[in-house]
Amino acid sequence: MRAIFIGNPNVGKSALINQLTGSRLLVANYPGTSHKISFVNKDDSYFYDTPGIYSLHGLGDSAGIVRDLLLDNTGFRIVNVVDAANLERNLVLTLEVLALGLPAVVVLNQMDIAANLSIEIDVEILARELGCPVIGLPDGEGRGLDRLMQWIKQPLDSDIGIDPLQLEKLSKDSASSQCQHCAQACQHNVITIDRETIERARTIAARVVRQQPAVRRTYLETVQGWLDRPVIGTVLLLALAYGLFTVMVTLVHYLEEPISSAVQPFSNILTALIQELLPPGMVNQVLSQAVPEGLVIPFTIIMPAMIIVSVFISLLEDTGLLPRYSVALERVTSFIGVSGQAIIPLTLGFGCRTPAIMATSLLPNAAERFIIATLLSIVVPCAASLGVMAAVIAKFHAYIWVVAATMLAVMLLLGFGLSRMMPREEAFVYELPPLRIPAWKNTWQKVISRTGGFFTEVLPLLLLMNIVLRALMETGVLEWFKGLQGFSQFFFGIPAEALVAVLITIFQRYLAPLVLLNLSLSPREATIAITMIALSLPCLPVMTMIVKEMGAKRLAFILAMGAISSFLVGVALNLILP
Amino acid sequence: MGVDELKTMKNLKIGDKARIASIDTGVAGSQQLMEMGLSPGSEFQLVARYPLRGPFLVKLGNNRIAVDYNLAQAVVIDELNEGPDVLDS
């Protein structure tokens, strides 16, 4: 059996499928978390998760994706997930869905939140008005979930299809929304939600919803009240961001010693083992140094940063704090020519930039997505890079404020320049989710999956690159670069070896600073080198993601911009810094 | 404000409730706005407006929707109930 889950953004479609099937679809408290169709298979039933939409006939990419799914398939049921606290708005989509003439059920979700707002909904009258089964969730006993599962598993005529009139309407919508893909807002494309549907939704909602004036405000509402005040809220949000950053840096700093002494014995054994097992010579010398180093450094420098950052980001996502930054910082993002919700992918980038590139899909158009992908690739440091950068900055007493200010300046300049290259009308309309206590299990799962990359990607890659690097050092290949000394000193004021480190970013950004750790640099040299590394090329997984989402041409452009910005920043800092 | 002048969301004070008369569909984002339920006939309350021509935050039912300055100008309102100076929700 096949069931397509359709509903407004942020009503909990993915979370519901996770509950029904035990799957692990990404769930967060902001509109636009899912942006593609994903499907889960359990006991011969297929569950299709779709991006949240407000109307089947809407203009955005998400509505198009859902329409295409409906048009390309036959023999399925529809589960319409509805936010009980916002029934009137949600019912517009419900009525559109029911008009398709397919077997459908309405899941009245987040009944607990509605109850907190003193909202009562008469489920029976609603079912009668809509002419389809309505299931309220959560119901505390899990009976609702069982009922839903049974309904989904009922046998179904395989050739049951969409009502022909509606089918024609959907195809027409899809054809006319094609020009949405140009960056400009199309004037000739007018909304096709019917006024009548809106009126009917209003009437039905008025008939079944009873909202008592809230007796008292919950403390979450009080917090939300403060955060949604323009000046105070912005100050509070920025203070929180600064606080989290400070906690991260401090924790990483204090954890380095204990972790390092914990893994040291292991590393010593490994060194001894390699020296013992391999015949003496070059290979022995390279491996006995590179392998323990390549294993220890990730654990002491990178892992703590990755764990802490992913905890913070998962919490920001699941509480609903993250989208609040998009309103508070709208003036800043508007300067770089993107709408406020760009804050979400940019923040996610501090965890890992690969999922952040995917999250750019919540931006309204291709031009904005490209600007943010460029900034993510060139400027935003991921948790792994942050860890390594922090270590290098600490070792050489580099000027942390120069590094941070330069990165911020490059981000603003680059964004400003790019947005002027792609003139278009920008708009910011975004729904703020209510603040929520995170579902701890979900947050925990996200932390696990976000730090999983440490073992599958960071550790093996660093080990490999470390071996290559050691080999280059031992064989004297690096000496050859000494010829670049004059060039490097003249332009960037850094020794040739540091320039080699910068060049290594081509292979792996967070590896490059490790080369610096082996050199002796002055604070000034370290500052320039680390800033050049921080503002350069994206790592391989990010490059792959960009090619997949935007094409090779765009990637080539981003790489060129990265190389140029890195070199210009080097030259500029060399001229400015005393 | 003159009676014959069109009032838009921009003219509202914090706490004011208003009903939407029409929306200028020529402005970028107006389609999205209507999809989200801010369409002619719906009533909302202004919760906050951010400084420096920043976004407007409105409450529509139990939803909070942020709308940029340009769009706020495109939302023409008719009925208006002045709210308290300091909003408490």
Among A211, A241, A273, give the residue marking a domain's end.
A211
In terms of domains, do A98 and A236 share one? Answer: no
In terms of domains, do A240 and A153 share one? Answer: no
* Whole-number pLDDT of residue A158: 67
Residue A401: domain span: 230-429+449-576
Confidence of residue A219 (pLDDT cuts 50, 70, 90): confident
In terms of domains, do A284 and A205 share one? Answer: no
Lowest mean pLDDT across A29-38, A450-459, A473-482, B50-59: A473-482
- The interface predicted TM-score of the complex, written ipTM, equals 0.88
In terms of domains, do A343 and A390 share one? Answer: yes
Which residues 115-134 of chain A have a CB within 8 Å of chain B?
A: 117, 119
Cβ contacts of A451 within 8 Å, gap of 6 or more? A303, A306, A307, A310
Establish if B13 touches chain A: CB-CB under 8 angstroms: no
Q: Is A340 in Cβ contact with B35 (below 8 Å)?
A: no
In terms of domains, do A198 and A240 share one? Answer: no
* Whole-number pLDDT of residue A81: 97
In terms of domains, do A206 and A338 share one? Answer: no
pLDDT digits (tens, 9 = 90+) for A360-403: 888 888 899 999 999 999 999 988 888 888 888 888 999 999 99
In whole angstroms, give the CA distance from residue A386 to residue B54.
Answer: 31
Q: What is the mean pLDDT of residues A262-273?
A: 90
pLDDT of A410 strictly over 90: yes
Q: Is A86 buried (19+), middle (13-18) or exposed (0-12) by CB count in 10 A?
A: buried
The reply to whether CATH 2.30.30.90 applies to domain B7-81 is yes
pLDDT digits (tens, 9 = 90+) for A91-105: 999 999 999 989 999
In terms of domains, do A190 and A275 share one? Answer: no
pLDDT of A177 strictly over 70: no
In whole angstroms, give the CA distance from residue A149 to residue A143.
Answer: 10
More confident residue, A229 or A301: A229
In whole angstroms, give the CA distance from residue A530 to residue A399.
Answer: 10
In terms of domains, do A178 and A247 share one? Answer: no
pLDDT of A473 strictly over 80: no
* Whole-number pLDDT of residue A30: 85
In terms of domains, do A480 and A552 share one? Answer: yes
List the domain boundaries for chain B: 7-81
Confidence of residue B4 (pLDDT cuts 50, 70, 90): low
State how many domains chain A has. 2
Establish if A60 touches chain B: CB-CB under 8 angstroms: yes
Contacts A–B by Cβ distance under 8 A: 123
Confidence of residue A44 (pLDDT cuts 50, 70, 90): confident
pLDDT of A188 strictly over 50: no
Report yes or no: A269 and A296 within 8 Å, Cβ to Cβ: no
pLDDT digits (tens, 9 = 90+) for B46-78: 999 999 999 999 999 888 999 999 999 999 998
* Whole-number pLDDT of residue B89: 45
Among B44, B45, B64, which would you mutate to test the A interface (most chain A Cβ atoms within 10 Å of its Cβ)?
A: B64
Mean pLDDT of chain A: 87
Q: Does residue A217 lie within any of the structural domains?
A: no
- Domain with residue A175: its CATH number is 3.40.50.300
Say which residue the tokens 């929304």 belong to. Answer: A177
pLDDT of B39 strictly over 90: no
Q: How far does B71 lie from chain A, in Å, by closest CA?
A: 7
Q: What is the mean pLDDT of residues A289-302?
A: 83
pLDDT of A312 strictly over 50: yes
Residue of chain B whose alpha carbon sits nearest to that of A219: B89
pLDDT digits (tens, 9 = 90+) for A531-544: 998 888 888 788 88
Report yes or no: A59 and A177 within 8 Å, Cβ to Cβ: yes
Q: How far does B24 lie from chain A, in Å, by closest CA?
A: 11
pLDDT of A185 strictly over 80: no
Among A211, A241, A276, give the residue marking a domain's end.
A211
Report yes or no: A2 and A45 within 8 Å, Cβ to Cβ: yes
Q: Is A225 in Cβ contact with B61 (below 8 Å)?
A: no
* Whole-number pLDDT of residue A190: 53
In terms of domains, do A121 and A259 share one? Answer: no
In terms of domains, do A181 and A235 share one? Answer: no
In whole angstroms, give the CA distance from residue A37 to residue A14.
Answer: 11
- CA angle (B8, A206, A165) in 5-degree steps: 85
